[in-house]
Amino acid sequence: MEMFSQFVAMTNDFLWSYLIIAMLIIVGLWFTLRSGFAQFRHIGEMVRLLGEGMGKKSGISSFQAFCISTASRVGVGNIAGVAMAIALGGPGAVFWMWLIALIGGASAFVEATLAQIYKVKDGDTFRGGPAYYMEKGLGQRWMGVLFAVLITLCFGLVFNSVQSNTITVAFESTYGLDRSVLGIGLVIFLGIIIFGGVKRIARASELMVPFMAIAYLLMALYVTVTNLSVIPDVLKQIVLGAFGLEQVVGGGIGAAMMQGIKRGLFSNEAGMGSAPNAAATATVSHPVKQGFIQALGVFVDTLLICTATATVVLVSGAYTDANLSGIEIASKGLGAELGIWAQHFLAFAVLLFAFTSMVGNYYYGETNIEFIKRSKGWLFTYRLAVLGMVMWGAVSKVQIVWDLADLFMALMAIINLVAILLLGKVAMNALKHYNEQRKAGKNPEFTADSLPGLTGVEAWDSSQNRQSKAG
């Protein structure tokens, strides 16, 4: 096990030091320029679209799909991951988290739009994601299968063990509770939800995600307001640390950049290919609508929630204690600023954040299992494996779990970034088609023949079929 752990750590160092960071920045900048800075110009449209379709009685609404992806995004990466990034890379890591979110919004827009275009029908709902657009858009089923295997292992199994690990560590350190007992409880409650299907998953996410995000943001906002006098100094630390202009914990620009981008991606998932699996479930009139909504999700995750954690950690100075791990740093920071009650609040916030992430992570695996082979036996086996990994993560050591998560995340990102680069023109044409209709004062609608030369589309009617149905 020790040799395996060392191999995983060395592989991670190589991938994250060079290949992944370069690909994320280059692809994000490319789509930012190609789209005319769409993730910034259309902020108002993103917010407007978020509420579209709420209260629908059939299918999955835009808001529910947003909540499924946010449930997966907003997890321990927003608390423990951010605290760990600052501890290892210094305050400058926060700058690189911001940067990867700002340019990553364009990558998130492209991958979610593609997921909508190439989604497939599944009863009265839809399925889709990178595996589907790799097969239908690129004609490379082998690539889709490889991605499907990786995301199933990464999110359904490894990431869910990360979430359960953080929950049990938080409750053990705060209340002295037995981690195995907590693990059994998590297995029971997660099993109730995941055996209920995608609609139960969407409903659970819709109920829990807004509550947990607002409560955590309000607490961090209070810390910020009560420490306004030191905020300029905190911002100075972030900017100077980002470029190695002053000594930071972990040393220099390399550590700050690596930790910031790694944890930023772990949290907001822009370009990694996970959120498109949720984006594809939505019933919308045009693929670009969900592309905008998923880009907004990147900003909510990193610019709001991750920044909230960073503010608490930096204001308190808790990250300088080398004896503390990620979640313990955040807990100490909140305790120092708000009192002992805040540590209790954080323990339950971690529980809610991590549990909703488990729900979203599970679904990503499910939809990709369905892509590989539609089989009740496979799906049942996968569900048991998910619950088993949740139990394993609850009682295992932290580092090997995080190292495995980083490795699978890197491999997923490489494959997905290559795919969206090859299919980027389709998403750009869809954006142009959407903008033309908006300028004409219409509610944008999309059909299978809306874009010249588009093939592999199953879930969208042609304009002729839509007219015949209307007639």
What whole-number distance in Å separates Cα of residue 409 and Cα of residue 269?
9
**What are the Cα distances from residue 415, in Å, to 31, 117, 141, 339, 432?**
17, 19, 13, 45, 26
The residues facing 126 across adjacent strands are 121
What pLDDT was estimated at residue 274?
A: 83
What pLDDT was estimated at residue 53?
A: 55
What pLDDT was estimated at residue 83?
A: 77
8 Å CB contact between 400 and 5: yes
8 Å CB contact between 451 and 426: yes
**C-alpha 261 chain-centroid distance:** 13
In sequence order, what DSSP letters do the residues of 104-155 get, joined into one string? HHHHHHHHHHHHHHT-EEETTEEE-SHHHHHHHTT--HHHHHHHHHHHIIII
Q: What angle do CA 382, 388, 392 make, to 5 degrees?
A: 140
Give the H or E element holding residue 354. helix 340-372
Average pLDDT of the chain to the nearest whole number? 79
The CATH T-level fold of domain 60-439 is: Amino acid/polyamine transporter I (1.20.1740)
pLDDT tens across 152-167, in order? 988 888 888 888 887 8
Give the H or E element holding residue 307. helix 307-316
pLDDT tens across 327-341, in order? 677 777 766 666 677
274, 287, 366, 290: which is closest to 69 by C-alpha? Answer: 274
pLDDT tens across 55-102, in order? 554 556 667 666 666 665 666 667 767 777 777 777 777 888 888 888
8 Å CB contact between 204 and 359: yes
8 Å CB contact between 327 and 166: yes
For the question of whether the overall pTM of this predicted structure is more than 0.85, the answer is no
108, 99, 107, 110: which is closest to 303 by C-alpha? Answer: 99
156, 171, 163, 13: which is closest to 77 by C-alpha? Answer: 163
Give the H or E element holding residue 410. helix 398-439
What pLDDT was estimated at residue 249?
A: 47
Encoded tokens for 467: 């007219």
3 state DSSP class of 456: coil
What whole-number distance in Å separates Cα of residue 131 and Cα of residue 294?
18
8 Å CB contact between 31 and 15: no
What whole-number distance in Å separates Cα of residue 112 and Cα of residue 293?
9
What pLDDT was estimated at residue 259?
A: 65
Domain positions in the chain are 60-439
What whole-number distance in Å separates Cα of residue 336 and Cα of residue 332?
6
Quote the radius of gyration of the chain (alpha carbons, Å): 21
389, 278, 314: which is closest to 90 by C-alpha? Answer: 314
Of 74-78, 229-233, 241-245, the range with the highest mean pLDDT is 229-233
pLDDT bracket for residue 21 (50, 70, 90) = confident
What whole-number distance in Å separates Cα of residue 65 and Cα of residue 59?
10
φ/ψ bin of 456: left (φ > 0), alpha (ψ from -120 to 50), beta (otherwise): left
Lowest mean pLDDT, pick from 7-16, 100-109, 400-409: 7-16
Report H helices in 176-269: 179-194, 198-225, 231-242, 252-268
What whole-number distance in Å separates Cα of residue 445 and Cα of residue 466?
11
pLDDT tens across 111-150, in order? 999 999 999 987 777 889 999 999 999 999 999 999 999 9
